[in-house]
């Protein structure tokens, strides 16, 4: 089984993802990136950040040990969002970046993801090379050639200033509740929104090392919805553990997911003449309601595999400027090649302020099709592609839903499960088809 998933290496910290593995990954990454010429003619430099998990401390030490032993100077930026690390790699002209996070996963998990020069995620081919070279014998530098460790005290300030520079509209009077998931955004998100002019209430913004994503953040919206309605806020913003995405909550408590967010931004870009080739990039999980909304606005949609890296690849390939996922990963290439939940929230707030429309009004241009998603756990997900019975069941289901819905089955790239997604113009029908397929997956992939 491949070590790298759709978003780096993840697993239970100190079981799957050990200090020893972290050292080896760091060394292998330094060798692979060095040999393709990224370090040519200068002393290499790396940015290393982490989310708020307690296990991030020993993993950070291990990664820094690996990088410095391979001759790379390391700049520690501490607890910051994943997109902050991507930004800092580009801003400081570093040769690579490392983010220690398992995003929305439970606290016991952790992960390691690498960024190349410029702040882009590594291509699949480079990750495969890193994995292939784990633990290989190597010639170790000594003396002056050993890397050094520095602490970048101003990293968070520079990141917040960069975010504020992306908007030109004062957000004064906009009442916002932000749920930081007790994660990487706990300090910078409330500060960024406040400095943009908004009136900010922060919840789940007190990380202990053990409470990240615990009944809070983008995977648990109940507290945010309650607080938005309680104080009469204009919107709520929910980040995940590493804040590379966000979900929103309207003033009445309605959840505004990534499809709605992308719909709002695409229409705004289109109206301002900034949507290149009149095209936005979504994924195979994008809701049919989003597709139809874009069609009605005269906007084309290109779909990719699930994963913001694949959205970005399509955007770079065809020079598109806007793309994203239902999960809330939104990429605006005008500002960044990385999904950034704080940037996304600020851009939506700016549209609200400029148009003087509520989030509910802005989202009303799209009618979401009922969508049922069942996560079938503890199955042999690697056998999904070879199951003839499941393939035939999907074909039959799609015939039944022709014109009124669709089916998608896929193995998760970050967890041990298979996702069964069914959309239909009728919720009862979607539930029936999804339950049937999920039951078959359980039986066939034991």
Question: Residue for token digits 């060095």?
Answer: 34
* DSSP states along 115-130: EETTSPBPPHHHHHHH
199-203 and 175-179 beta bridge pairing: parallel
**Catalytic residue from among 103, 156, 186, 187:** 103
Residues 432 and 401: their CA atoms lie apart, in Å, by 12
In eight-state DSSP terms, residue 17 is B
Q: Give the closest residue to 189 by CA, choosing from 207, 173, 209, 170.
A: 207
Q: What is the distance between the alpha carbons of residues 184 and 53, in angstroms, rounded to a whole number?
A: 9
Give the Cβ contact number of residue 208 at 10 Å.
Answer: 11
How far apart are the C-alpha atoms of 180 and 212, rounded to whole Å? 9
Tell me how far apart the alpha carbons of residues 72 and 91 are, in angstroms, rounded to a whole number.
18
Q: Among this protein's residues, is 103 annotated catalytic?
A: yes
Residue 378 DSSP one-character state:
S
Closest CA to 217 of 341, 374, 59: 341
Instruction: Supply the residues annotated as catalytic.
Output: 103
């Amino acid at each position: 089984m491949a070590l790298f998933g759709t978003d780096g290496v993840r697993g239970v910290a100190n079981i799957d993802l050990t200090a020893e593995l972290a050292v080896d990954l760091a060394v292998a990454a330094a060798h692979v990136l060095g040999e393709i010429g990224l370090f040519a003619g200068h002393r290499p430099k790396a940015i290393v950040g982490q989310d708020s998990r307690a296990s991030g401390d020993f993993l950070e030490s291990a990664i820094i040990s690996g990088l410095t032993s391979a001759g790379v100077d390391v700049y520690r930026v501490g607890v910051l969002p994943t997109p902050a690390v991507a930004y800092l790699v580009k801003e400081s002209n570093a040769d690579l970046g490392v983010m220690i996070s398992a995003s929305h996963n439970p606290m016991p998990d952790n992960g390691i993801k690498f960024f190349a020069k410029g702040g882009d995620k590594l291509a699949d081919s480079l990750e495969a090379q890193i994995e292939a070279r784990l633990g290989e014998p190597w010639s170790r530098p000594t003396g002056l050639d050993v890397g050094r460790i520095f602490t970048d005290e101003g990293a968070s300030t520079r990141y917040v200033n960069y975010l504020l520079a992306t908007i030109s509209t004062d957000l004064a009077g906009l009442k916002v509740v932000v749920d930081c998931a007790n994660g990487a955004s706990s300090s910078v998100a409330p500060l960024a929104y406040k400095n943009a002019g908004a009136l900010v209430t922060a919840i789940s913004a007190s990380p202990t090392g053990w409470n990240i994503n615990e009944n809070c953040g983008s995977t648990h919206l109940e507290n945010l919805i309650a607080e938005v309605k309680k104080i009469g806020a204009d919107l709520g913003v929910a980040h995940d553990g590493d804040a590379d995405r966000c979900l929103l909550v309207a003033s009445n408590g309605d959840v505004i997911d990534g499809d709605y967010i992308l719909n709002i931004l695409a229409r705004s870009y289109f109206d301002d003449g900034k949507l290149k080739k009149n095209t936005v990039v979504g994924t195979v999980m994008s809701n049919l309601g989003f597709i139809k909304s874009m069609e009605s606005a005269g906007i084309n949609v290109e779909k990719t595999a699930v994963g913001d890296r694949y959205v970005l690849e399509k955007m770079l390939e065809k020079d598109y400027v806007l793309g994203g996922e239902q999960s809330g990963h939104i990429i605006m290439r005008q500002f960044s090649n990385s999904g950034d939940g704080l940037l996304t929230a600020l851009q939506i707030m700016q549209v609200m302020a400029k148009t003087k429309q509520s989030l509910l009004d802005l989202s009303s241009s799209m009618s979401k099709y009922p969508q049922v998603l069942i996560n079938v756990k503890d199955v042999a997900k690697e056998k999904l592609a070879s199951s003839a019975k499941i393939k035939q069941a999907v074909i039959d289901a799609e015939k039944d839903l022709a014109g009124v819905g669709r089916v998608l089955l896929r193995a998760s790239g970050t967890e041990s499960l298979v996702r069964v997604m069914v959309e239909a113009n009728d919720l009862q029908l979607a539930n029936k088809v999804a339950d049937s397929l999920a039951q078959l997956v359980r039986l066939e992939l034991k």
